[in-house]
């Protein structure tokens, strides 16, 4: 995984943010940080995570978006970190599934057809339309097409391990207008697992929030 410290300033509280597939820290750099240190993870071609790097923090919060929910669930399943709250946004820990996530045929089709043109179409759907995409293009980073394609194949493999559901999320935000993870499927997955909050947002959620407290404290 790529690991990027958004802020590392000896705060007492730490946010571990597991980004969505194909993203980098550009997706969340506009959020006001508040009194947290924040580390962002992306590129799940390799799931390498070391608890010991974060043992100095007394309060740890987990925020995971989209396919980052799967990655977080896998690497934190056996964690002994003092996690105070965990929040999933527009994703599930069973992400390649006709009832709980993205239909397998759509997931595989996205992988097989991944190229520059289809990426733009995908990102427009992610953020809610062409106008929103053009105004916020910079938030989707500069990852390479081939790297993203390899990552998506790995995430499919991880989804077949059936090991992700050992990690508990406290809250999930589900976007009514999510065109990537159908909100009905998200509701089906989370309804008996944690607190569910349905919001009027697309798959990309970070225009709805202005700071990390908006996410952590809801």
First to last CA, the chain: 28
Distance CA 187, CA 167 (A): 18
Residues of the chain with pLDDT under 70: 163-164
Domain parsing of the chain, residue ranges: 2-216
Query: In CATH, what is the architecture of 2-216?
Result: 3-Layer(aba) Sandwich (3.40)
H helices of 2-115, in order, are 68-76, 104-112
pLDDT of 166: 81
The pLDDT tens digits of the residues spanning 53-74 come to: 999 999 999 999 999 999 999 9
Tell me whether residue 190 is exposed, middle or buried, using C-beta atoms within 10 angstroms of its C-beta: 0 to 12, 13 to 18, 19 or more: buried
Q: Between β-strands 13-18 and 83-89, what pairing exists: parallel, antiparallel or unpaired?
A: unpaired
Give CA separation, 11 vs 57, 125, 217, in Å: 8, 37, 18
Distance CA 18, CA 202 (A): 18
Structure tokens at 75: 């690497």
């Amino acid at each position: 995984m790529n690991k990027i410290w958004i802020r590392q300033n000896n705060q007492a509280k730490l946010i571990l943010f597991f980004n969505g597939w194909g993203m980098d820290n550009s997706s969340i750099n506009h959020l006001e940080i508040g009194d947290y240190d924040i580390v962002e993870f992306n590129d799940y071609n390799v799931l390498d995570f070391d608890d010991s790097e974060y043992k100095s923090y007394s309060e740890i919060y987990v925020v995971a978006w989209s396919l980052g929910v799967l990655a977080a669930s896998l690497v934190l399943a056996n964690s002994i970190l003092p996690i105070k709250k965990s929040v999933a946004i527009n994703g599930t820990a069973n992400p390649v599934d006709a009832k709980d996530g993205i239909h397998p045929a759509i997931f595989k089709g996205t992988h097989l057809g991944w190229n520059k043109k289809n990426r733009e179409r995908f990102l427009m759907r992610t953020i809610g339309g062409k106008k929103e995409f053009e105004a916020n293009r910079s938030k989707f980073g500069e990852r390479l097409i081939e790297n993203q394609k390899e990552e998506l194949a790995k995430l499919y493999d991880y989804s077949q391990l059936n090991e992700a559901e050992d990690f508990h999320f406290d809250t999930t935000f589900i976007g009514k207008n999510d065109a990537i993870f159908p909100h009905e499927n998200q509701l089906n997955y989370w309804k008996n697992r944690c607190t569910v909050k349905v919001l009027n947002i697309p798959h990309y959620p970070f225009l709805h929030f202005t700071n990390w407290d908006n996410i952590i404290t809801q």
